[in-house]
Structure 1
Amino acid sequence: MSRSDLRDVVVAIDGYLAGNVTLDDLQATIISCAARVTEYEHRRLREQLLQAEGSLEVIRFTTDSDKIAAATLPVVIALRDAIEDVQTIG
């Protein structure tokens, strides 16, 4: 995993929050980044990426379409915070 992988996720999150990136594209970026996390010391981040993507998927299929954006905000913001923590530490 490289810093650019994490940057891709942060850019996708920011784009999603701004309404410029679809939920599908955000999820694809998260999955792609998680697949490249292979270092043992970053296993927690990989878990967070996969958990966030799974939560987004559940929201997508269990929430009315007009409420999806609001329902995904806590998940997306928590993931961005987790990535920022890793970038600060790493």
Structure 2
Amino acid sequence: MGGPNLEVFKFGMYIMFPIGIMWYYGTNLDNRFSVPDFWPKPEQTYKIPFEKEEIHSELERLRQRRLYLREKRLEREARMEQRRNEEEAN
């Protein structure tokens, strides 16, 4: 059998191995596990309007967008209905 030196070595390995792993993966985390340009820059983020005029202009922009998307959807549905009618006629 091994003796006391082997037991001391095993105990040292049991203690030092997890500490070494934690030290290796715990140092320099910003450079090791970071993704460049992951977070948007402040000028790329959405600015919440606080002034009354800004709120009204934003509401108008959203209304125009909603109406544009509705118009496109209605056109698409009309084309699909027309195709269905043509297929039924044939």
TM, length-normalised to structure 1? 0.28
Larger RCO: 1 or 2 (CA < 8 Å, sep 6+): 1
**Structure showing the higher helix proportion among its residues:** 1
